[in-house]
Structures are given as C-alpha cells and as structure tokens.
Chains A and B, each alone.
Chain A
Amino acid sequence: MVRIRFQQNLDDLKEKLLVMAGMAEQAIQRAVEAYRVRDLSICDLVNRGEMAINRLEREIDQMSLDLLAMEQPMAIDLRFILSVIKINADLERVGDSARAISDRVRELQAFPVAELPIDIPRIANLASGMVRKALQAFIEGDADMAQAVLSMDDSVDKLNSGAHYTLLSLMKKEPGVAPQALNALMISRALERVADHATNIAEDVIFWVRGADVRHNVGAPGNSQQPNGR
C-alpha cells in the first residue's frame, strides 16, 4: 500500500462527513420532536445545530478542494471526493429543512393546537429512515443498499401529496385551522425534500462505488465492484 498519507486524508474526510451526517439526522429528529411536543427549547437546539452544520459544510468543502488540488486523485478516489462534495451539500440542505420545520413550529405556538388528519411523524420516520440508510450505504460502500433507498422515495412523495390534498380540503372546510394546516403542509413539504436529499445521497454512493450515474433514471448499471480501503 502506498500513498498512505493520502489514504489517511480520505479516511479523515469520510469521518468528518459522517459527523456532519449525524448532525443533520439529529436536526431532523429534533425538529419533528419539537413539532410533536410543541417545545421551543428544542427549536433552539435545531437552530444552534444548523450553525454547526454550516461550519462543517465549509470545512468539508475545503478539505475536498485541498485533496483535489494537492493529490490529483483518479478513478475511485476521484469519484469518492466528488461524492463527498455533493453529499455534503445535501446534508447541509437537510439541516436547512430541519431549520424550516423548527421555524414553522415557532409560528404554530401562536395558535391553539388543532387535531390535523395527517401523520407528520410517519412521514418524518420514512424520510429520516431514508437518510440513515443512504448514509449506511455510504459507510459500507454498498451500492445495492443505496439502490434500495431510491425505491423508498415514492412512498414519501405519496404521503406528502396525500397530506397536501387533505390539508387543502381541511382549510376550505374549516378556515379557522388554516394557519395550523398551512404550517403542517409546509412541514410535510420540508420532509419530502429531506427524502429527496436522501435520494441524492444514495445516487452519489452508487456513483462512487460503481462509477454509474443513475440520476434521473438514465444511468446504466455499472460493475458491482466494492471500493477498497474505506
């Protein structure tokens, strides 16, 4: 094994991205919990966490840029660093979505609690489950697992469309709960975007491992080789 230092730098980059991933996942869980129990102190945690995520995003981009410039990586190493850069951006957007949810929770505080006929925690579970699985695929360099994430996106889309339809109908029927329904609709939309980011992350893992671009359903299946060393 040669280029030991480069290998260590790649490992460090991966580790840093996983720290970022943990924070993004936690942010979504906290934001949904804040919605469930209407607790503004959890919203504060989400906001503080988002700043840390933003800081990490810049650090990871800088590390990636340095490795591209100094090491001029090729093949699987090049694909790995490109994937890290893109996953990094998606995780930052997951953090933004958590922030958006916590902002809606703050707004909801001004209104009485309304029983809404939609299941936000269920959408949240599915979306954060996708993020977790996509990141697990990244940790293990497992393109098959990443592929499974792609097929989960439809369920979240369907739940979000259903929530959209239900909440719009409710707003027409009961204008008194329109502010609560509107905020819930925006939360559902934010969670649907989290699922989209998980899909992007899974596609980046497939690109890293197989060298196949599967975005927008146009990628040809690549070989099934496993990445080595990371």
Chain B
Amino acid sequence: MGVSIEVNGLNAWYGSNHTLQDITLHIPANEATALIGPSGCGKSTFVRCINRMHETNPIAKVTGEVKVGGVDIYSETSAVEVRRRIGMVFQRPNPFPTMSIYDNVASGLRLNGYRNRRVLDEIVERSLKNAALWDEVKDDLKKKSGASLSGGQQQRLCIARALAVDPEVLLMDEPASALDPVSTAKIEDLIFQLKVQYTIVIVTHNMQQAARVAERTGFFLNGRLVEFDSTHKIFTNPGDKRTEDYITGRFG
C-alpha cells in the first residue's frame, strides 16, 4: 500500500543556488499529487529530495525533514532503502538497452539478492501487468530487448521496473512529455490504476494532465511552494494570483 509523505521546512541548494526554500506539505497516501510550475522552479529538485537523489550531486545540500510513511528518510534509514521504497520514472524512458524485457524488470530484484527463478517470473509478470504492458510483451519477454519497444512501451517498462521492487511511492518526473497522445493516455490510465496501491507524485508541464490525473496539485515558483490544494480548486479558482497567472498563461 502507498504511504503518506510529510515534508517540513525542506531547503535544498546546488552550490550557492538556494533551489528549494522552506517547503512544507503533506502528500496523502494512495493519491496522485501533481507538481506544476515553470522550468527551474524547483519541482524536479523537490522530487529528487524525496528519494534522496538530490544528494548524489556533490555540490548539492539538503536540510529539513522528509517523512515517508512516518520514517524520516534522511536520519532513520539508508539511501538505498529509500530508493527501494520510492520508485522513480523519468521524462525519457531509460530501459537498459542491452537487456531483455524480462531482465530489465528483474534488474532491481537481482540487485536486491533475488535468485529464485519462480519468484522472479512471478514478480516480473505481476509488475508488467501492473504497468499495463504484459499483454503486449508476454511472448517476447526474453527475446526482445527493452530498447526494441516503442517509446510508450519503454516508459511502461520503466514503470514495471520501478514497481518490481515493491515500492510504496512512485515519483514520476514528466513521464509522458516525450510520448504521443495515445501512449500518454495509457500512462494516465495507468496512474489511475496504480493509485490504489501506491502514492504517486507527478511532475508535469502539461496542466491538463495534472488536472486529469491528480487529486492534489502544488504550484512551485522560484523555489517556493506558492499554493497546494485540491486539483479542482487550483484549476478552477486558485487562491493565489501567481498561480492563476501561471495556469492561465499570463506569466512573464
């Protein structure tokens, strides 16, 4: 099941650049939460802080508290465990190009020490089914490489790979921006199905997409969280003038 995420006073820097300033918000379990805002506003940095990827950059620094399912991910657990509990899907599908479809999905499990063939088969099948890809690839699991799939299929393969290690949270950074409308629709349908089991945080520049898939939406601007509310409120009657200017295209 998904878990809630509590963020309190989160600050992040790249060198001297203060990219996230005092972010506090509560992301409920088993919902999709969309993060919107102009390029460079800090939304991607925010999701990278939630699974401790921000700190992989040597000039990056983070302060504040991020609790995932009640556990402080910066003080009470390891980065490796955090990344198992919190899967991530990126803008461009990034399957391991030389691996088969099967091995792509199983890669995280093998890294975590899974060797039993039957268990691996089961989890790979379940993950591909949860990512709505199974029916399209079940006959070519070990014959075809991940790179041989279409862009939309590759993205769902990456989702299956993230799901295989049984995460509680799925972070998606512009997961459909490189996809055609049909593949985008499949990803969006998938988000609806995945919410039942996972907590989803999706960064998107496509506001209609945020409106379609997310229960809640946060608007970031210049490293600050300007407004966080129900998606309905944000897109029909936002409370902050800056949010309204952004979503109606009156920015700049």
Binding site for B on A (CB under 8 A): 1-3, 6, 72-79, 210-211, 222-223, 225, 228-229
Beyond A1-B250, A74-B248, A75-B244, 16 extra complex contacts between A and B, CB < 8 Å: A2-B249, A3-B248, A74-B207, A74-B236, A74-B247, A75-B236, A75-B243, A75-B248, A76-B244, A78-B235, A78-B236, A79-B236, A211-B236, A211-B237, A223-B239, A225-B241
Q: Which residues of A contact B208 (CB under 8 A)?
A: 72
**B249 interface neighbour in A3, A211, A228, Cβ under 8 Å:** A3
Q: CB-nearest residue of chain B relative to A7?
A: B250
| Bound: A51/B136 CA distance, A | 57
Residue of A1, A3, A74 most packed against chain B (CB within 10 A): A74
Min CB distance, B199 to chain A, in Å?
A: 25
Min CB distance, B234 to chain A, in Å?
A: 8
Q: Are B241 and A77 in contact (CB under 8 A)?
A: no
**B237 interface neighbour in A2, A75, A228, Cβ under 8 Å:** A75
Q: Which residues of B contact A79 (CB under 8 A)?
A: 236-237
- If A72-B208, A225-B241 touch, whether A77 touches B248 (CB-CB below 8 Å) is yes
Number of interface residues of B (CB under 8 A): 17
20 pairs, A vs B, C-beta closer than 8 Å: A2-B250, A6-B249, A73-B248, A74-B211, A74-B235, A74-B236, A75-B235, A75-B237, A75-B243, A75-B244, A75-B247, A75-B248, A76-B244, A76-B248, A77-B248, A78-B235, A78-B236, A79-B236, A222-B237, A223-B239
Min CB distance, B34 to chain A, in Å?
A: 13
Query: Is residue B58 contacting chain A, with contact meaning CB distance below 8 A?
Result: no
Shortest Cβ-Cβ A-B pairs, 3 listed: A211-B237, A3-B249, A74-B247
Q: Which residues of A contact B211 (CB under 8 A)?
A: 74
Query: Is residue B238 contacting chain A, with contact meaning CB distance below 8 A?
Result: yes
Q: Which residues of A contact B248 (CB under 8 A)?
A: 3, 73-77
| Bound: A72/B247 CA distance, A | 10
Q: Are B250 and A3 in contact (CB under 8 A)?
A: yes
